Chain A
């Protein structure tokens, strides 16, 4: 009986205390007709040794030699200390810090996280995280509609260069609250929003403008101009950012004259493994004035009875367990364990380390780009500056090129034909600090063969 510690004696004594003859008797309030028979699809139990063998074989099937896939999830070096510490039972097997006195470890750590992520984004406050990047963007949209005092609009304007999965997830999440997301087309040459095109939306009533940075194509939007434009229109600005890029790029709190109002993003690049898409963490920051409209857990610093510093859940009057139907969101958890990883990761890297990582990502990407452009028929699809990801136009459909490269054990990037038929000959390729010169050369020679073959 795995994990059930009862001996036959224990069981008999316990049943005697309860005053019943069998465990079965404890289920006597359940109508007989509802009792289920044996499970049919579930196999019999196995030992841990057999489990490790089975799963070892399955995991091995999924290993690739080299991957240049990014598109919203990025492979970075994670210091060994990060998951050694995260894996401590005291972090991993605790729950929501409802009993603050018995949860000061988790609470202080989240306060440190809120501090670090606010500083990285140059925003005033942060929450304790939400599920991941796309749902963070959805929460930001709902928050902006609640928070915008100048506009009662239920419409949001969103850059078409945002990650397509983010856009669809947001639409799926906000649809039933009668919110509409209008999309501004991406400039066909630049791969970014065109300020001249924004004029079409002037004078229209939108609660917020969503600006991705870098955008889905890896490119850098003209964030200052977009922020000032949105502010002039009475829209809030929601920034959707990559946290590693912010070590090198202007943080959203400094965009334009007033900065972004709400900043969200995928925290995975900060110490969280790719792990097939989750668990990750969505971070969420905002201006102080908007904090009461922010969803999710928030940790505050306070004093105990003796005046000693301590940490506790705060502003709980926004949350579902208090406000029920009037809550800011139904969200009931944060991504505590991943926040733990991101906090330790940021502590270990510091400003200088994260800057070095960002420079290495960008430099490696430029190096790959320059080498790839030497292949006949390969060109750069968009003109805007990029961070660590670039769209390559290929002499053949991207699907065919990627399939050939996969034969070499290399995932060359993401097939943009899956996003738009107009981009069927394009792939989105990412380089991080994990790729050295030899890796980049292996990519380039595989790509050359795939384009020529």
Chain B
């Protein structure tokens, strides 16, 4: 039932209304007034609370179950971080509040910038991008600004390995570039010869994820960096998989000129059913003059340190602001809190235990007869199994395995990504899962493999334990039904 369908004409949640003290409409001209009410739900407060509580229970979430969605880093989101973001001083702070009423907030952001510089090995950090994709945009826009500043306008291409996230090519196009894809070799590393053939005076830069979406560390990264730099291009690091190497390797040391981080992944801020994210960018010396604004600066005064916003007046070559205000501030506060709770020792362990968990699962599943996409390689924080043999011999595909896992109470791994591995599942356990949970998931997959051999319809019909069975996506796209069209309430 939709919220609309439990309403009744004239019902309302009166406690939420202001007691109107003023004559309606005031100076609003007649022609500019609304004539017919919009048609929002007419429900009581209890009905709202019950409806949305019940809806929430139709979701899988980290708080309710293991959620090994590859490349999404679904780790525990500490409640303490959530709590501090809800402190009144932070929650009610207006984005345009003067600096004298902003020192608490700004000091957190300044320190977060410093920590992020530290873990990435970059020269400067801007916290303003609101998601990974906007961080990518900022990064490639900076690459473009750099070449334009140098009068180097013949650079029209961004190189992207075929395993990359779809956001990478989409971002390059938003920044006015053409995309040239570079092949990935059988071992999961970029094909160096293909890169050598692709790079040239038209190359503006290369966008890369390392560890790659193949779940392996790109071993020839220094050679790649040298190739691109020698051709005059810059290197972009997609931080989607930063969790794998936190505390172990710094992208700045690998030769990257610019990166974005997904704080909703690596810094444990909640994913919120699809957002908000937070995608700060870090830059090396070449791109420092172009960072998006605002960033937080620190001034020493007789009364102590004063934090302030640095905008285009101080950073004239900046690519500028990307939103109305400073970005997803509430998420940045949570990331700062997470960084403080972990500290440097905790951060070192993130990559270690994320990697331990992934390698353990990969080994267990391999021993049980699953085919790893890269059996000769170390897994990083995630790994890929491919169901192409099962698809061929048993008629059950990767999606069937994914759907059956839901019946076992586990969220499915990422399916059919990266695109270059057929029938694949990309599994990322994260460091916050216990051995018992990993074993439970592996046991479930092993049991599903047995089902696939004996009663494959258990997979092809799955899920059967959830509020709905498989949905008709074709109908959804063909008979578009995006808004409820009936009148808002039952009429009396």
| Pair B170/A323 contact, Cβ less than 8 Å | yes
Q: Which residue of A lies closest to B353 (CB)?
A: A4
Beyond A18-B363, A304-B469, A362-B26, whether A131 also contacts B131 by CB under 8 A is: yes
Q: Is A257 an interface residue (CB 8 A)?
A: no
| Pair A29/B216 contact, Cβ less than 8 Å | yes
Residues of A within 8 A of B250 (CB): 36
Q: Mark A127-140, 1 if CB is under 8 A from B, else 0.
A: 01101111100000
Contact of A101 among B253, B415, B470 (CB under 8 A): B470
Within 8 A of B (CB), among A26-54: 26-31, 33-36, 38-48, 51-52, 54
What is the CB-to-nearest-CB distance from A273 to chain B, in angstroms, rounded to a whole number? 5
Residues of B within 8 A of A293 (CB): none
| Pair A17/B476 contact, Cβ less than 8 Å | no
Contact of A94 among B35, B75, B273 (CB under 8 A): B273
Number of A-B residue pairs having CB atoms within 8 Å of each other in the complex: 697
Q: Is B388 an interface residue (CB 8 A)?
A: no
Residues of B within 8 A of A338 (CB): 272, 275-276
Q: Is A166 an interface residue (CB 8 A)?
A: yes
Q: Is B277 an interface residue (CB 8 A)?
A: yes
CA distance A320 to B169 in the complex (A): 8
CA distance A323 to B169 in the complex (A): 9
Q: Is B352 an interface residue (CB 8 A)?
A: yes
Q: Mark A60-94, 1 if CB is under 8 A from B, else 0.
A: 11111001010111010101010111011111111
| Pair B475/A302 contact, Cβ less than 8 Å | yes
| Pair B55/A105 contact, Cβ less than 8 Å | yes
Q: Mark B472-492, 1 if CB is under 8 A from A, else 0.
A: 110111011111100010000
Beyond A94-B273, A126-B482, A353-B16, whether A73 also contacts B325 by CB under 8 A is: yes
Q: Is A420 an interface residue (CB 8 A)?
A: no
Interchain residue pairs with CB less than 8 A apart (8) = A17-B364, A43-B343, A47-B341, A99-B403, A131-B275, A165-B325, A351-B37, A363-B23
Contact of B98 among A116, A118, A411 (CB under 8 A): A411
Q: Is A152 an interface residue (CB 8 A)?
A: no
| Pair B118/A279 contact, Cβ less than 8 Å | no
Residues of A within 8 A of B24 (CB): 248, 359
Contact of B471 among A73, A87, A101 (CB under 8 A): A101
| Pair B346/A2 contact, Cβ less than 8 Å | yes
Q: Is A406 an interface residue (CB 8 A)?
A: yes
Contact of B363 among A19, A79, A411 (CB under 8 A): A19
Beyond A40-B118, A279-B330, A385-B29, whether A27 also contacts B80 by CB under 8 A is: no
CA distance A46 to B339 in the complex (A): 9
| Pair B104/A69 contact, Cβ less than 8 Å | no
Residues of A within 8 A of B415 (CB): 98
| Pair B356/A14 contact, Cβ less than 8 Å | yes
Residues of B within 8 A of A396 (CB): none
Residues of A within 8 A of B414 (CB): 98
| Pair A104/B480 contact, Cβ less than 8 Å | no
Stretch of A143-151, A197-205, A231-239, A342-350 that contacts chain B: A342-350
Between B80, B217, B340, B378, the greatest number of chain A beta carbons within 10 A of the residue's beta carbon is seen for B340
| Pair A325/B60 contact, Cβ less than 8 Å | no
| Pair A350/B13 contact, Cβ less than 8 Å | yes
CA distance A213 to B353 in the complex (A): 52
Within 8 A of B (CB), among A285-344: 288, 291, 297-306, 308-312, 314-317, 319-327, 329-340, 343-344
Within 8 A of A (CB), among B9-24: 12-13, 15-18, 20-24
Residues of A within 8 A of B20 (CB): 356, 359-360, 363
Q: Is B466 an interface residue (CB 8 A)?
A: yes
| Pair B356/A119 contact, Cβ less than 8 Å | no
Residues of A within 8 A of B468 (CB): 100-101, 104, 304, 308-310
What is the CB-to-nearest-CB distance from B21 to chain A, in angstroms, rounded to a whole number? 7
Contact of A93 among B77, B102, B170, B179 (CB under 8 A): B77
| Pair A353/B12 contact, Cβ less than 8 Å | yes
